[in-house]
Amino acid sequence: MRQEAPIRSAPPGDGAATHWVPTGRTIVPLAASAVCIVGQLYVVIPLLGELASGWSAGTARTAWMVTAFGFAYATGLLFSGPAADRFGRRRVLLTGLVAAALATAAVGLADGLTAGLALRVVQGFTSAFFTPAALAYVAERIAPPRRAIALTAMTSGFIGSAIIAQVAATVLLPAFGWQAPFFGGAAALLALAVILWFVLEPDPERQGGKRISPVGAMAALLRRRDTILLYLATATVLSSFVAVYTGLETVGPEGLSGHPAEMLALRASALPAFLAAPWIAGRLRHVPAAARVVGALATAAAGALLTAAVSGFGMWAIALSLFVFVSGIGLSAPGLIEAVGEVAGQARAAATALYTFVLFVGASLGPQFAAAADGAGFIGVCAAAGALLAAGTLTAFAAQRIRNRLA
């Protein structure tokens, strides 16, 4: 069996790290930062009505506060990955956290929709400079036996933030106003930047050698059939996740829609799945990443279809099926990162940037996907999400077959 060597993300001679860092003290603040960063995409959703009232704009217009952040974030990922390859993971990560904190606080000062949209674009773009650098740092600095757990903790933070951020905003809004989630988020990001300043290892000093063109690295990745298929599978992950939870909000299960307490409980029911995902990943760490991806996507597809089947059987049946669905989502994302990283070599951060770009473009399209299927109600949305994930499963399986033939 081939032994896994420390990953060198820089060209030889660039002083890449060759020792592993402590897992716990590294992952806890990084995962917390992941929640705070990506949570800013979703935190505005419970605030749309208040923003529409305060800014004399309809909710259809204030909904662009979500879209503005999402597309700016996805665009920023294309720049942040190559920047992390060139300037170092720690440097780019910390700079991104501080810049995102300042932009987040500025959103809380917006006095109208135009200013709010402009600041959300800045906030989304600056937030993107955390993600690829953090994921590449984990993939390079965490020992192989713990790497799957660490990556799962990170991606669980990214995905779980969709629920955590909305719950937090819902709690803060009545007592402190719509600005509180932004000011609180900015303070949390600054505090985490300080913690990570002390926790993260310094970037290795570069000692010359040929640098890889970020554009060239991305182009090379997109010339591989297996990588293209993995990115196509990636697009199904958050698009289906956001579609299901958008459908939960817009059309809802029969008998539960319009009952705030029950709907909040359904959203929160997914949190145990995110908490369990790192533990499950640890038990599966000896399974190849490509095989884990296929199994996880198949599980998510089954969970979505099961949710459609039991949507008329009450809250607890739906909660259990959503647990299966979210467990599959939470395990597929880190598996895809590992699978893509295995072919990226020294351009790992650029590959991760493409991965996260595709992932969050999918997230941005999730509401439109739900809207296209909501004519058939919540059952139709879940069934469509299950079909999409089934297609993603087949795509990932095809990528695995190609990789096996090339090995």
**Distance in angstroms (rounded) separating the CA atoms of residues 326 and 29:** 23
- pLDDT for 307 equals 92
Task: Mean pLDDT check: name the lowest of 59-63, 129-133, 285-289, 328-332.
Answer: 59-63
Q: Look at 94 and 290; give whichever has higher pLDDT.
A: 94
Q: What secondary structure does DSSP assign to 134-175, as a single string?
A: HHHHHHHHS-HHHHHHHHHHHHHHHHHHHHHHHHHHHHHHHH
| Number of neighbours of residue 175 by Cβ within 10 angstroms | 7
Q: Is 60 exceeded by the pLDDT of residue 208?
A: no
Those residues whose C-beta lies under 8 Å from the C-beta of residue 152, and which sit 6 or more positions away, are 277, 278, 280, 281, 330, 331, 334
**Distance in angstroms (rounded) separating the CA atoms of residues 387 and 392:** 9
Q: What is the length of the chain?
A: 407
Please give the average per-residue pLDDT across 335-354, as a whole number: 76
- pLDDT for 302 equals 96
Q: Look at 320 and 278; give whichever has higher pLDDT.
A: 320
The pLDDT-based confidence of 194 (bands split at 50, 70, 90) is very high
Q: Which residue in this structure is represented by tokens 């059952």?
A: 379
Q: Look at 47 and 128; give whichever has higher pLDDT.
A: 128
- pLDDT for 248 equals 78
* Mean pLDDT taken over the chain: 83
Please give the average per-residue pLDDT across 216-224, as a whole number: 76
Amino acid sitting at position 266: L
- pLDDT for 213 equals 65
Query: Could you report the per-residue pLDDT of 41-93, keeping only the tens digit for each?
Result: 889 877 877 888 889 887 667 778 888 898 899 899 888 877 887 888 899 99
Q: Is 80 exceeded by the pLDDT of residue 154?
A: yes
272 touches 330 (CB < 8 A): no
Q: Look at 151 and 39; give whichever has higher pLDDT.
A: 39
Please give the average per-residue pLDDT across 4-21, as a whole number: 47
- pLDDT for 157 equals 83
> Could you give the domains of the chain?
17-200 (1.20.1250.20), 214-407 (1.20.1250.20)
Q: What is the Cα 244 distance to its own chain's centre?
A: 16
181 touches 172 (CB < 8 A): yes
* Both structure tokens of 238: 């958050």
- pLDDT for 342 equals 78
Q: What secondary structure does DSSP assign to 187-247, as a single string?
A: HHHHHHHHHHHHHSPPPPPP---PPPPHHHHHHHHTT-HHHHHHHHHHHHHHHHHHHHHHH
Q: What is the Cα 330 distance to its own chain's centre?
A: 10
- pLDDT for 406 equals 66
Query: Could you report the per-residue pLDDT of 254-289, keeping only the tens digit for each?
Result: 767 666 677 777 777 777 887 777 777 777 777 888
Task: Mean pLDDT check: name the lowest of 80-84, 96-100, 111-115.
Answer: 80-84
**Distance in angstroms (rounded) separating the CA atoms of residues 163 and 270:** 8
- pLDDT for 182 equals 96
**Distance in angstroms (rounded) separating the CA atoms of residues 48 and 71:** 18
Long-range (24+ apart) CB contacts under 8 A made by 165-168 are 165/35, 165/39, 165/40, 165/41, 165/42, 165/43, 166/42, 166/43, 166/45, 166/46, 166/267, 167/264, 167/267, 167/268, 168/39, 168/43
The pLDDT-based confidence of 1 (bands split at 50, 70, 90) is very low
**Distance in angstroms (rounded) separating the CA atoms of residues 81 and 348:** 8
136 touches 88 (CB < 8 A): no
Q: Look at 232 and 160; give whichever has higher pLDDT.
A: 232
165 touches 127 (CB < 8 A): no
- pLDDT for 106 equals 97
**Distance in angstroms (rounded) separating the CA atoms of residues 92 and 129:** 6
- pLDDT for 4 equals 36
